[in-house]
Amino acid sequence: MIVKQKTNYPFVHFKTKSTMSISTLPQTRLGNPLSRFLRWIGSWINAPLNLGAIPALLLSLLTVLLTLTSVSAQTKYTADFSTQPTIDKYGFADDWPWNSTVTINLGGVEYLITDAINGSYTWNGSAIVYSTAGDANPRIKRKDGQPFNFYGVKLQYTNYKDPVYYTYPFLTIQYSTTGSALADEKYDADQTVTVAKPNGVGVTQVVLAFHGLNTLTLDDLVVGPTGAVTSVAPTVLTSAASGIGTTIATLGGNVTADGGASVTQRGVVYSTTNATPTTSDTKVVIGSGTGTFSQSITGLTSSTTYYVRAYATNSVGTSYGSQQTFVTLPPAPAFIRQPVTTSACTGNTAAFTVTASAATSFQWQQSASADFANPTTVAPGSTIITTGTSSTLTVLASSSLNGDYFRAVASNVSGNVNSSTAQLTVFTVNEPSVKNVAYCQFTTADPLTATASVGNSLTWYSADGSRLAGAPTPSTSIPTTTTYYVSQTNGFGCEGPRAAITITVNALPTVSINGLASAYCQDAGIVTLNGSPADGHFTLDGTPATNFNTASLPLGQHTTVYSYTNTNGCVNSTSQTITIKATPTAPSLVTASGQPFPVGVSNLTASQNTGSVILTVGGCSGGTITWNGGNSTTLAVSTSTLGIQTYTATCTQNGCIGPVASFLLTVVPTSLSVLHRDQDYGNTQNNIIKPFLELANAGSQAIPYSEVTVRYWLTSEGNAPATNFAVYYAPLGAVNMRYVMLAQPRQGAFGYVEYSFPGGGSLPMNGNSGPIENGIQKTDGSPFNESNDYSYQGNYANYTPNSHITAYRNGVIVWGQEPTVVTSQTAVQVYSAAMDNPTASQIKTRVELRNTGNVPLPVSSLKLRYYFTSDNGQLANVYVDYADMGTANVQARVMQLASPVNGADSYVELSFSGNTGQLNPLSSLGFVDFRLVRSDYGLFNQANDYSYAANYGNVGLNNHITAYLNNNLVFGTPSSGASARMIAQEPTSVLQAHLLGNPVVGDQAMVEIRGAGGQSLTLKLVDLQGRPVHELRVDQAGDVEQVSMPLGQSRGALLLRISGATQQQVLKVIRP
């Protein structure tokens, strides 16, 4: 607990030890002598010392001292109970159940808070708490019983309130004073009271008499020792205003202490502007002395806030009570705006609005009659909005309110007043007449309709309540149920309730056609129509049908429609297009051409072991053939097995299968056979073939010789045909022989010699023809190589059957097997021989081109290239000295490579454009001898030439000489870096120059140049030592250019070099 000590000197403040200010002494206490003394002291202190004034000074000082004896210091001690005080029984018996005393030491004096009856004192950490139930009289006093000054205490308490036992006052504070009696102070229940005695009250005790106390919290007790106390201004309390009216109020107060001097005047002061009014404001004197006082004050202004304080005056001065505020009442309300009669549509709202001055609340009333004989509050669902002095009543119009009256009652504290009455007219509109509608899905809907009363209009709404521009047309695209709404509006704009129209869109039945294919072949037969759900109806191309016959329908597309009606009467249909497709005809399954059997037959009888019969199938355009040959169009059927073989084929077009085509092959035993003997006794490399033959008939019938032909298959090497024939002996009669070249090479055969027998007669049954002795030679007498001939057999002792020699009866093979067709093969080889030393003034080479393939080659499409180094970087001259085919049929030219390659900067190209013949398989063009001469007639070094082969005499294979067929490399390997194909930019024409007359007569040589059209040419004439004689330039040569070259004085042999962009030629000019 903190004890605060404060000593007050109300009028004297000591500033220093040498001076004293007494400026705070009021006039009323010190009187004129003191005032004059102080003023004199002040003037004396600031003036020179006047010894004559000393007696007067002493007299004044005595007066002051006498006055100061009535002023004493006031020492105060405050107990705030922040620390715990001593709480015990203090003087009560040990069996006393309560702590009845609080002991506090203040300024060395012990003070007691005691007499706790039916309860104990406790400490809550910041105050003393006393809890009891009923009356209680706690006392504050000194422990030694001596008087003391009481300055105040803070009390917070709660009470029991009971109209019988516990009534006002609930707290009475009683002072046992040592001086003038002090009136009791009374307070109501449940208060927080701060008792304040600023100047102190001399007491022996202070009794807190509670009536019906529950709890008490005591804090901030201020006491002090007694001493001489002078009079002070009175203590006055301001009472709350009462009896407040518009211009009147009762004001007053309570003088609770006279301050030690009689209260000569008391009353109230008030103001509307000064929050702390004084006697300078409006003052009302209400008697004198202590105690309560009041008076009714009139002439006030209504609705005005007033500030009021009670005041009391004694000889010390005037004191004021605390400020109280009150507001005068307003005047009674007066209506400025009255409610207006109105009308509304049922379901809408109607509003009545009033304005009343000074109104603070409104009440709205409703009555069935204008006189409001039995007014009621407004109907449920109404709303009242009051803002300031205005109020609006909003009611929901219904038929029950039609004709009712309404008024407002405005009120404030000054009274209430009724407004005039207003009547409400309610217009009622009924729903229009409507009917629900049902549609089938996807049908066309009409705009909805409804029937309105006469003179009324319709308003339509969507399912979500949105207003529509007009009657809606329902959508029928989705099966659903939709509700639209429609109302009618009368001529007053009143819209009635909305009628609901339910729109039902019924789903169409799900219809399907079952088991119907998209297409049928014309021979499919009768097709039954089937739909789901059952019991619907079919049409085919618009005609009712339950089935259809594919054979009776035209080819092409037809439409079948299935319709079905469900229980809602909704019809749905589905359609399907079917295509009637033509049944294809049977394919062609016959023998193929190009074989020794009849062509295009579907029934064939063949002799055993006469080779395979080739069947061909066709006649199924755009379709698929199913047959024994699989995906192939041909099938080889063997004749090795006797008996009947059957083969079939069908054509499928657009999924339709046609009739079956069949081929019947009957293989019978062989009756006609060919026997052979090699009369050349195994000599296969000479220039003649002697195939002695004999025909044998093992059958039971003779065979006319005129129906029989025989083929001997061979390879006729060389370019000369095997057309020299001889029949040495043939007892059967005349024998014709001819050579037939095959268009497609066969195994061991480029052709055959065919024997026929036009002399008549027949080959007897079970007999033979006798020998047919013959010989075969080529026109040039060149040798054959029989070792690779298909029909050759090296038996020369006896006639033996030879199945590689085939026999035919009426063109149909009856004996042997023809050689199989082989793949055409294009192949050549180049052979060469050197005809000069490696180092020489000219390169002389023999070349030979051989056809090692199995097909003839056009000679004009063949070219050879021989690669060499010119050794001087200039074009060499080339000459064809000899050719088996004739030099006129060989063209030679020298070409420079764009850049040197390994072993070559140039090549000789040999072509045979003048020859229109063919180079037959296994034949040769013969020898071609060409010669190269340097432009300067210098020596060649052939040792480093790419195409040079150092073999002399017989030619040898040389793959460094390349061969081309139709400008494509077919043999040899070009030098590394050289193109394997013909150079695209090479000129198509060859530079050719010759002298028009040589030796030259005269001083000019005439030169004709061909193959340089459009090119620039340089003509340079030198002697054999290389000394220039003359030089000419032609900027653009014609296709045939003639140039006159001056010879000057030179004689003998001269060299004329003619050079173009890529070609050059040197001519030797002789001038005698």
Find the mean pLDDT for residues 347-358: 91
- Which among 632, 667, 702 is the end of a domain? 667
Domain limits for position 409: 334-427
Residues 978 and 836 both lie in one domain: yes
Residues 775 and 790 both lie in one domain: yes
The dihedral through the CA atoms of 920, 923, 927, 933 has a sign that is: positive
Q: What 3-state DSSP class applies to 49?
A: coil
Residues 739 and 794 both lie in one domain: yes
Amino acid identity of residue 148, one-letter, is F
The dihedral through the CA atoms of 94, 98, 99, 101 has a sign that is: negative
- Least reliable range by pLDDT among 384-388, 606-610, 663-667: 384-388
Residue 561 has pLDDT above 90, yes or no: yes
- Least reliable range by pLDDT among 84-98, 256-270, 416-430, 625-639: 84-98
Find the mean pLDDT for residues 415-443: 92
- CA–CA dist 1058, 1048 (Å, integer): 18
Helix axes 27-45, 54-68, angle to 10 degrees: 150
Q: What is the biggest distance separating any 2 CA atoms in the chain, rounded to whole angstroms? A: 216
The pLDDT mean for the chain works out to: 87
Residues 342 and 311 both lie in one domain: no
pLDDT tens per residue across span 692-704: 999 999 999 999 9
**Token couple for 613:** 């019969």
- CA–CA dist 759, 212 (Å, integer): 175
Q: What is the pLDDT of residue 373?
A: 82
Find the mean pLDDT for residues 517-533: 93
Q: What is the pLDDT of residue 989?
A: 60
Residues 981 and 862 both lie in one domain: yes
Residue 78 lies in a domain: no
Q: How confident is the model at residue 47 (pLDDT cuts 50, 70, 90)?
A: very low
19 or 311, which is more confident? Answer: 311
Find the mean pLDDT for residues 822-831: 93
Find the mean pLDDT for residues 767-772: 96
- Least reliable range by pLDDT among 7-11, 127-131, 217-221, 1004-1008: 7-11
Are 847 and 954 in contact, with CB atoms under 8 Å apart?
no
- Which among 942, 968, 986 is the end of a domain? 986
How far, rounded to the nearest angstrom, does the alpha carbon of residue 415 sit from its chain's CA centroid? 76
Residue 533 has pLDDT above 80, yes or no: yes
CATH code for the domain in which residue 361 is found: 2.60.40.10
Percentage of the chain exceeding pLDDT 90: 60
Residues 572 and 593 both lie in one domain: no
For residue 778, the number of C-alpha atoms closer than 13 Å in the C-beta half-sphere is 17
Q: How confident is the model at residue 24 (pLDDT cuts 50, 70, 90)?
A: very low
Q: How confident is the model at residue 914 (pLDDT cuts 50, 70, 90)?
A: low
Residues 862 and 935 both lie in one domain: yes
Q: How confident is the model at residue 85 (pLDDT cuts 50, 70, 90)?
A: very high
CATH code for the domain in which residue 459 is found: 2.60.40
Measuring CA to CA, how many Å separate 761 from each of 702, 707, 812, 1060?
9, 10, 20, 75
Amino acid identity of residue 789, one-letter, is D
- CA–CA dist 497, 491 (Å, integer): 15
For 280, residues 6+ apart whose C-beta sits below 8 A from its C-beta are none
Find the mean pLDDT for residues 923-948: 93
Q: What is the pLDDT of residue 556?
A: 93
Length of the chain measured in residues:
1072
- CA–CA dist 223, 150 (Å, integer): 5
The count of domains in the chain is: 10
Helix (H) or strand (E) holding 828: strand 828-834
Residue 823 lies in a domain: no
Residues 972 and 906 both lie in one domain: yes
Residue 75 lies in a domain: no
Closest Cα partner for 853 from 750, 964, 928, 721?
750
Residue 487 lies in a domain: yes
Residues 775 and 859 both lie in one domain: no
Residues 175 and 296 both lie in one domain: no
Residue 785 lies in a domain: yes
Find the mean pLDDT for residues 729-745: 94
Residue 227 has pLDDT above 70, yes or no: no
Q: What is the pLDDT of residue 584?
A: 93
Q: What is the pLDDT of residue 475?
A: 92
Are 1007 and 995 in contact, with CB atoms under 8 Å apart?
yes
Find the mean pLDDT for residues 440-457: 93
Residue 196 has pLDDT above 60, yes or no: yes
- CA–CA dist 962, 907 (Å, integer): 10
Q: What is the pLDDT of residue 377?
A: 81
pTM beyond 0.85: the answer is no
Are 717 and 782 in contact, with CB atoms under 8 Å apart?
yes
Are 1012 and 991 in contact, with CB atoms under 8 Å apart?
yes
Helix (H) or strand (E) holding 489: strand 480-489
- Least reliable range by pLDDT among 809-823, 854-868, 1019-1033: 1019-1033
Q: What is the pLDDT of residue 990?
A: 74
Residues 647 and 677 both lie in one domain: no
- Least reliable range by pLDDT among 179-193, 514-528, 721-735: 179-193
Q: What is the pLDDT of residue 915?
A: 64
Q: How confident is the model at residue 317 (pLDDT cuts 50, 70, 90)?
A: very high
Beta bridge partners of 416: 411
DSSP state of 475: -
Residue 73 lies in a domain: no
Residue owning tokens 């021979």: 523
Residue 14 has pLDDT above 60, yes or no: no
Q: What is the pLDDT of residue 57?
A: 43
For 465, residues 6+ apart whose C-beta sits below 8 A from its C-beta are 485
Give, in degrees to the nearest 5, the angle at Cα 77 between 71 and 82. 165
Measuring CA to CA, how many Å separate 342 from each of 23, 243, 406, 714, 937?
80, 44, 11, 133, 140
Find the mean pLDDT for residues 859-870: 94
Q: How confident is the model at residue 611 (pLDDT cuts 50, 70, 90)?
A: confident
Measuring CA to CA, how many Å separate 690 from each of 398, 516, 753?
139, 75, 12
Residue 229 lies in a domain: no
Residue 8 has pLDDT above 90, yes or no: no
Q: What is the pLDDT of residue 659?
A: 93
Residues 61 and 91 both lie in one domain: no
pLDDT tens per residue across span 119-168: 788 999 999 999 887 888 999 999 888 999 999 999 999 988 887 778 88
Residue 817 lies in a domain: no
Q: What is the pLDDT of residue 979?
A: 62
Find the mean pLDDT for residues 748-776: 95
For residue 1023, the number of C-alpha atoms closer than 13 Å in the C-beta half-sphere is 10
- Which among 427, 462, 489 is the end of a domain? 427
